[in-house]
Structure 1
Amino acid sequence: MKRVALHNLGCKVNAYETEAMQQMLEDNGYEIVPFTEPADVYIINTCTVTNIADRKSRQMLHRAKAKNPNACVVAAGCYVQAAGEALLQDEAVDLVIGNNRKKDLIRVLRKWEQDHKAAECITDIATDREYEELTLGRTTDHTRAYLKVQDGCNQFCSYCIIPYARGRVRSRKMEDVIHEVKRLASEGYQEVVLTGIHLSSYGVDFEPCSSLLDLILRVQEVEGIERIRLGSLEPRIITEEFVSKLSKSRKFCPHFHLSLQSGCDDTLKRMNRHYTTGEYFKKCRLIREYFEHPALTTDIIVGFPQETEEEFTSTRDFLEKVSFYETHIFKYSRRQGTKAAVMEGQIPEPVKAVRSNELLALNREKSKAFRDYYMGRTQEVLFEEMTRIDGVAYQIGHTKEYVKVAVKSERERSNQLCRVRVTGYLTDEIMLAEFE
């Protein structure tokens, strides 16, 4: 029996695809082993979102070949799509499998086993309009299942390589999504997270057009699923109809990750983002009109080319104004092949570091303020694991707003929904509660 080790780099969509490939391998008689162990085949699902991600992808490929020079090393995913056939010139790589071709993994592996010839399996992602059907019957997370429902992006933000690596928008058929949700529910999963490269575009490529809201309303009908969570959203999807209908669903988790990237209109224009800060703020207010205490989270890029001190201050002031639960802060990283990489006015790394640290401090302040709201309140928690801290057993889980909560208990409660009353903090990021 061939031993296979897999390693994932990058986003939740990549993680979903890696798990799907693992299950394909298991179903075809391969033995899955940890990446730290000797294997006959190493599969690295790569990332190319930054030049650093490219370097990490190359490092992992070379590390795999060093573990076993006779092994078949497979490079899959986004870096493959960006690097193309050049990867086959790398002596550490035996097979390359691009996006939208991971479903062919077994066939490609079988052929390699016959002739041991280096080969590439890459499609022209820019012209491919077919959604690659990969499915999961189980996940490594025993309570929360991530479902990839969409691929590709049509936005072409000036800093982003993903439309070139993932192609145009392609949506998964609604019936296929529902079939997988039902299968996961039958396996005991109570929470599903709908993810995609540009999730807000779900259904725009269908004829007739459909929408992410249509999909959510279908998913909530599946018996056994108690929570529906969403991946990253674009502000444009937030309409009165969208939030009004979601607010009526007892299964929907009011956790909105609304991509922002900058709180300055001039910077947003250079980024080729299709909204203003004023429009974005209206979306946040609309969500808060329909939900009592929704979790609003976002991403920010600091040090984008030509970002002045005044522009950075505008971003900081805007974050203060919106008051997010969590802000994920990234220092701008040049990505070859994008418009931003050749812009004049690249910001020095020390300046990026200072700006990043300032926003990280603000994020800690705002996150604590959001959590403080729950002190003394009753919340529903889906427990996920038991852990011990200083010898004391705690059940750990999340509220619908994705606030992490711990309850002191020796009794295993994984995958149970329980009512708890929040009493304080166990750590800076974990709230302490007791069962009601």
Structure 2
Amino acid sequence: MLESEAGDLSASPRVPALFISAPASHHGKTTVTAALARYHAARGLRVRVFKTGPDFLDPMLLSHASGGVHPAYQLDLWLAGAQACQQMVCDAAQDADLILIEGVMGLFDGQPSSADLAVLLGVPVLAVIDASGMAQTFGAVAYGLANFRRDVPFAGVLANSVASARHAEMLQEGLRPDLKLHYFGALMRANSAALPERHLGLVQAAEVADLDARLDHVATAIGQTRLAQLPPAVTFRRPDADLPCLPYLRSMPALLSGVRIGIARDAAFSFLYPANLDCLRAMGAMLYFFSPLVDKELPDIDSLYFPGGYPELHLQTLQDNQSMKVALRKHASAKPIFAECGGMLYLLESLTDKAGQRGEMSGCLAGHAVMQGRLQGLGYQSAPMPGGVLRAHTFHHSLIETTMTPFASGERLHNTSAGEKIFQQARTIASYLHCYFPSNPAAAAQLFLP
């Protein structure tokens, strides 16, 4: 993305685009977005997909469905800001044939909401409605979504999880002509197309053995609806009238010039914002990826970045990789480490999963973590780091016991209760918070400076 400057950078691009939303979570937004990406990419179109909000898992699937050429970037009005969201989509539109944006939760949920983003970008909303257990009421739900806010561009509605042809007829009966709602068709209930889930959301795309078959199945179903046709083109306005539509983060200061950053990336540590990697590269850092699951030693690096993920699903492998743990303790004694959520859990002395299985972790930090049966932290927070405040998000199912004293705590966006603790031991900084580096590049750089 940083290197791409294709197209007429002085003009606002005009590209077919659709914003996929729903009344709530679990109506099939991700499945429909992935099916659309797969269907149109298979036709030879260059499809770019985005995900609203701070989610890590859906973007992995969406990137794969669109062909895997580009990551699916997160569009988050609070983490990134309105101008950055506009800029990222404008960049993508320079050489895309179709842009798809998946919403988060329900269309009007949250502050800011998916509706706010759709209005900012001017992209029409497709409402996906799980029609299980309803008939003509389908029309009332669709009408409410279309008219709750008159400033939201509304493309129409798609019925999901439809039981039969007769069920589809009853749903259409609810869409009276006077409601003036465009009906894109119905997706029949099909367990073979369901995407597997676990405690933090979807199973990671790389772990679903038959993912391509599932995507082909739903893409075929999408091809039988009116969504087989491209949506109308949208003009993606420049976020600043005085600037051309240029690649996001193009003018970053070289605060990390020549700094070699090792980044844990494998099935256990995969919760990485693509924009974070862009930000580090734009500041001059050289990135080296390694796997704590299989690698026996660290690359030749100055500092380490441990993102979140699923270490609790790989306890035995992480415990048994003794040489990696030795290398990490040696690095932690003198060089910087920044660890988020699951990355922090691996740096502790031990981690216990929900079944009571305990694994000995790297021991870089004092403390023990135990997975819980329910969510323990969720929401946006500001993270006061040594170099400044970073915007962040938390979402975790574990608790930790530690003798470490936090040097700071996150500040919640929507209430005044205590935020996530931020710890420092030697040159290691760790927290449950997933930070968004472009929100304060100078503060992000400070985490990795040797």
TM-score by length of 1: 0.34
Normalized per residue, the structure richer in strand is 2
The structure richer in helix per residue is 1
Q: Which has the higher contact order (CA 8 A, sep 6+)?
A: 2
